[in-house]
Structure 1
Amino acid sequence: MARIHSAAALKIGQRIREARERLGISLEDFGELSQVSWTSIGRIERGAQSPNAETLVRLATALDVDPGSFLSGVTADDYGRRLHRVTARDLINARAEALDDPRESAS
């Protein structure tokens, strides 16, 4: 079995495969409709390859679904270990708190 790229790639690939199979479309026909090679689609569906944004849009368009449906619920944690767990909101709030803390201005 092919190596899995990430938990995110596996989730996305399964969603793409399910949508394709619901319509009864072969990999070859799907490749033709989406203008993505069917071998690449196969790797994506197995989670061995993580699709880029253009590929996601091409695949979704061919399946007549919203590209966001493939990404719903996928988080950065699904791509493996993260060095930082701070979001932009956390950073902005911390800076605002520092400005409001009178001890900060004394240092």
Structure 2
Amino acid sequence: MASTHSEAARILGERIRGVRLGLGMSQEEIAQLADIHVTNLGKIERGQANPSLTTIVRVAGVLGADPAELVRGLGLEDLPDTTRPLTVADFVRERRSRGL
């Protein structure tokens, strides 16, 4: 079985699946309504895909969900640890410490 794309992708997929199941809908039905391929929806629900904003909004729309609720609470710590993300606050603090 393929691994998840990231913790953020896993959480998003879990939330989408939960809403879909709560509505009693199949992946095929939601994918058709959202105009995406069912295998793509399956990968999203398993956290194996990194869906675009357009796809998130489409899926949320057909589920009758607020896209913001599907991503609420996700942050940099939920992304893969490829590099340490630099925040604006980090950047400004470093720049000020150098007198720039």
TM-score (norm 2): 0.86
Q: Report the structure number with the largest CA radius of gyration.
A: 1
CA contact 1:20–1:63 (8 Å) conserved in 2: yes
Once the two structures are TM-superposed, the CA of residue 35 in structure 1 deviates from its matched residue by 0.8
Q: CA deviation at 1:85?
A: 4.0
Contact 1:76 1:82 (8 Å CA) reproduced: no
Determine the C-alpha separation between the residues in 1 that align with 2:61 and 2:48. Answer: 22
The sequence identity of aligned pairs, in percent, is 35
Compute the displacement of 1:81 (Å). Answer: 1.0
The alignment yields a C-alpha RMSD, in angstroms, of: 1.8
Q: Which residue of 2 aligns with 1:40?
A: 40
The reply on whether 1:20 has 2:23 as its aligned counterpart is no
* Structure 2 alignment gaps of length 5 or more: none
Q: Which amino acid aligns with 1:25?
A: M
The answer for unaligned runs of 5 or more in structure 1 is: none
Higher helix content, 1 or 2: 1
Residue correspondences, number: 100
Q: With the length of structure 1 as denominator, give the TM-score of the two structures.
A: 0.81
For residues 3-47 of structure 1, give each alpha carbon's deviation from its aligned partner in whole angstroms, at most 9, with x where no partner exists.
Answer: 211111111100000010111111111011111111110111011
